[in-house]
Amino acid sequence: MLYITTSSGVLRHDPESDELRTLIPMEDRRWTGFFGIVFHENSHSILAACRQRLGTQRVRKHSTDVILHRIDPRSETSEEVSAIHDVHDVHQIAVWNDTLFLTDTGLNRLHLFDLSTGSTTAILPVGPERDDVHHLNALLIHEEHLLVGLNNRGHRDAEILQIPLAALADISESVDALSLGPVIPVTGFTHTHDLEPFNGGLICCASHDGLILRVDEPGVLINAGGWTRGLAVDPEGLWVGISQFAKRSIRHSNRVDGELRQLDVRTGECLRNVPLPGAGQVHDMIIHTE
């Protein structure tokens, strides 16, 4: 099963039956889109982060807080489980044991949230500036590291911050995340999203160029076409989220459609197109099978 976050809600697509279902629609006017999504082993549930406005003072960005939703993949029911305040323009999330990592893109920080206690345990600045200078937008737990995608807003090549998980165990102080691990350049590309394991390496999207990139061996894996964001890998091929080029106010609404494309990375052939009517922008996706 594919679980997809979009501007208009959380969707589920069954590749075998081609059924598309909305699991969480955008019903609350305070909600401004679902973004990060991850499977949490300890609770056997899918967690999805929804941008919110819950009273935190706005600092440049439209959204100021997060409501964390839990989806039971067996019953496909959902519930709100936590309100996480002072997270500005969340993008992707990641989980390690019971620690949830959230990108605070607007203020250039990483939040560490304890799922077992429902409390924030640490907020780590990424460099000295509390502004969207690095545009943190991707998180991945990979080979005992937390990988953080630094988009850098297109002003310079994208980068990946590589933090050993051991450095984050029991951390509670506001240590600069840039001091915890090396930064890997994604040479020659900007406006990147996502990080996904693939064939022993890593891939990401170069969204404006419609490309899927190799990170470990820099270069283009495949041209997906369209505005790319959201990656998931299954034995049949690579799933890519495709969104329309549009102004922010339009793409973050239900006035435009999104799309999923399943690609054969050996031939470049598009194996399947799945329209997402009224989805707005596609943000993230995971594959999970019971």
Computed over every residue of the chain, the mean pLDDT equals: 93
pTM of the model: 0.96
Identity of the amino acid at 222:
I
Find the mean pLDDT for residues 74-81: 96
Closest by CA to 110, choosing from 95, 93, 123, is 123
For domain 2-287, say whether CATH 2.120.10.30 is its number. Answer: yes
Question: HSE-up of 221 (CA within 13 Å, CB side)?
Answer: 24
Identity of the amino acid at 285:
M
pLDDT one-digit tens code per residue, 121-175: 999 999 999 999 999 999 999 999 999 999 998 889 999 999 999 999 988 888 9
Query: At 250, which helix (H) or strand (E)?
Result: helix 248-251
Identity of the amino acid at 220:
V
